[in-house]
Amino acid sequence: MSIATSTVIDARLDSKSVSFQEIPIVDVGSLIDGSDPQKVADEIGYICENIGFLYIRNHGVDAQLIKDVYAQTAAFFDLPLAEKEKLNIINSGPTLRGYIPMFGENVDPENTKDYKECFDFAQNEEEVSPFFGPNQMPEQPAGFTETMERYHTEMMKLGRKLLTAIALSLGLPENYFEALQKKPITIQRLLHYPPQEGQITQEEIGIGAHTDYGVLTILSQDQVGGLQVQNHDGDWVNAPPIEDCFIVNIGDLVQTFTNDRYISTMHRVINTSGKERYSVPFFMDLDFDAVVEVVDTCKSDDNPAKYQPYTCGQHKYKRFVDSYVHLTN
């Protein structure tokens, strides 16, 4: 991590650089092409149990599409604030899509204000309900909607493949989660983290420490860096960008399904690079009314279920209320 000489970082934000073995790289090619999905499932299962974050390569998503997404993302966030504010998430009602301005979302509000701006969208639909409905898409830059919809489609395909691996890793049928994903909640997010200099404290960083709310996250990050992951010892570990790789992590729902066998891992972002940072996370969940409960392979008489059943939408909306300024006021 390159730090401007004028930057002083709070000791609470210390992190360490480690070898890539601490956050492993998994070649998912044999999962994508179907030649050996169990091998990939076993690797992912071990990592979910012991680390919670992994890099994946040979994921099958076109490199040019990813470049196009970043070009469109930077161009969108370069628009005048007044233009972006026309798409403010406040205007979307329960659909919760559109532009989130600086400090409009704070994922760790008791400790941190998030120094970032976002844009959220998903599958475009006419009917409005929590997490579903029409997108608020900008007219500029040209080609924005087409590029982002293509990317969302690719992320859905990849996310479903990864969920089959998680199911197999737990000794479940590979299609176990399909019944819970007839019309899943998804969020395709674009993120912009301006650089920070001077005195940087935990009270204001790119995004505060948090776990992800849903099933899994597929993250593309640019070459700037700044992502940190908390390991099982409580240390913060840098998760630098690796060419042609996504970062994948499981969310709260998988921790429930597995009775804490797989852990939803804390992470945060601090951008002290002196450069603008962009990242593109895809959040995959279940149907709004899908029941989340401990699976049979993760409970026994000696290890009973630690969680009462709840619904995906119930959990996710509560987490949004806790972190979105316009929902808490």
pLDDT at residue number 19: 41
Domain that residue 266 falls in: 8-328
218 belongs to a structural domain = yes
d(CA 262, CA 52): 7
Domain count within the chain: 1
37 belongs to a structural domain = yes
pLDDT at residue number 2: 41
188 belongs to a structural domain = yes
CATH number, position 200: 2.60.120.330
1 belongs to a structural domain = no
d(CA 271, CA 277): 7
Whole-number average pLDDT of the chain:
92
Alpha carbon distances (Å) from 237 to 22, 130, 197: 8, 35, 21
The model's pLDDT over 100-157, given as tens digits with 9 standing for 90+, comes to: 999 999 999 999 999 999 999 999 999 999 999 999 999 999 999 999 999 999 999 9
Alpha helices, DSSP H only, in the chain?
Answer: 29-32, 37-50, 63-77, 81-85, 144-169, 252-257, 312-323, 325-328
56 belongs to a structural domain = yes
The segments of the chain whose pLDDT lies below 70 read 1-21, 329
pLDDT at residue number 4: 43
The model's pLDDT over 176-188, given as tens digits with 9 standing for 90+, comes to: 999 999 999 999 9
pLDDT at residue number 22: 77
3 belongs to a structural domain = no
Kindly report whether the global pTM for this prediction surpasses the value 0.75. yes
225 belongs to a structural domain = yes
d(CA 33, CA 315): 34
pLDDT at residue number 322: 85
139 belongs to a structural domain = yes
